[in-house]
Amino acid sequence: MSISFTPELLTPSEQDIASFEALFRHSSAIGATPAGGLHRLAASVEDGAVRDLFATWLTERGFEVRVDAVGNMFGLITFNPDAPYVLCGSHLDSQPSAGRFDGVYGVLAGAVAVASLARQLRERGEVPPCNLAVVNWTNEEGARFQPSLIGSSVFTGDLALQDAWACRDGDGISLKQALQQIGYLGAGRVELEIAGYVEIHVEQGDGLERDGLAIGVVRDTWAALKQRIRFIGEQNHTGPTPMVARKDALLAAAHAITAVRAEADLHGPQLHSSVGRLEIYPNSPNVVPSRVTLHVEYRSPDTELLAAAGDRLDASLKAVAADTSTSYEVESHALRESTHMHHGFAELAYSVGQQLGLPIGNSVTVSGHDAISLSRHYPVCLLFIPSSNGVSHNEAEFTSDQDMRNGLRMLTALLYRACSTPNAYR
């Protein structure tokens, strides 16, 4: 007769949950908008204030706080200096006039989960094979500085530090200058041996809510093609200049925008497209625009479909420029491949969720996350909790207290399994 063994799990106490909820309230007040959302762009004054809050909270609970040269903040709990770290986290920056859950939840839940485990392990006299750490990645959103995922990309070596520092916002302020201004330009790299990385995030879709699930374990990610395209025309007076003589860069951009949308309409749910940002010069009511920059995105689970869509866009741009007497240039072009998340880590997470009795299922992410940057280098697990009505990057973004508590329980239990039995997912 065989006896099955269910591994023990550690979960947060009621005091831990109350600590999380207080920390989340304090975070939500920094950069709060009148409609209950959040406006906290990367390396802004508001970002500096929430970083101060986060650093103080960590220090008071015995974390070692370290900041690297691109502003990534690490809170370390070291049981054994020679052991690797199981890292968790997300980002504290937001989109303009956005929600207070996106990214922020993963950082604060991660901090509370690690603090809870550190306390419980000390009380038990248990020294796990792996250390624990929480991280706030710089400029995940890509709202003030482009590209997105800057902090995690520098950490993995996929983006050079000098290139990250040189990124500039609309006012010409570099990321390096902005981090200096708020006091979060660290020195060098925080050297950590990473055993694995866990990120928990609001879903930014309605799948979990629709299916009555508490937790989604992300198995796959969509690919993304991002381009910055500039049309060049000729500045002139909008009154006397004959229509036939105009070289209107904004008109060219408008035709390009409709072409981008038309591409998505060809492929139904297999392709999403957007032009989320326009930069117009001189942006005066009485001047024909001479320069317009578009930020174009295509997203799909099929990388070949993205490549073909990109080729068709190139052809459309040539035709638009010819029809409007303008010229154009592609200032940047970045393809993020679709990925399969770490199978062993996903299986471990699924089993932990089942052991906790949480309704759990498999998910796919269309959005980009820091977890995707790290997944190309380390074992990574990405988890979702529900988003009300699938609304995100909007002040109306909402996730219930119960769903956040479920996520905190899930994250704490998974981190315990990952740090105490790392071979369970490798």
- Known binding residues for Zn(2+) are 91, 102, 141, 201, 393
d(CA 385, CA 395): 18
- The answer to whether the CB of 131 falls within 8 A of the CB of 350 is no
Q: How many helices (H) and strands (E) does the chain have?
A: 12, 14
Find the helix packing angle between 45-60 and 104-124, rounded to 10°. 10
- The answer to whether the CB of 80 falls within 8 A of the CB of 127 is yes
Q: Among the residues of 325-420, which ranges form H helices?
A: 343-356, 370-375, 401-420
Q: Which amino acid is at 383?
A: L
Contacting residues for 106 by C-beta, under 8 A, at least 6 apart? 88, 89, 90, 91, 199, 200, 201
DSSP 3-state of 350:
helix
Going by the annotation, the residues of the binding site are 91, 102, 141, 201, 393
Angle subtended at Cα 163 by Cα 369 and Cα 275, rounded to the nearest 5 degrees:
50
* Residue 310 zone, left/alpha/beta (φ > 0; ψ -120 to 50; rest): alpha
> Do you find a cis peptide bond into 81, omega within 30 degrees of 0?
no
How many other C-beta atoms lie within 10 A of the C-beta of residue 127?
A: 12
CA 216 and chain centroid, separation: 17
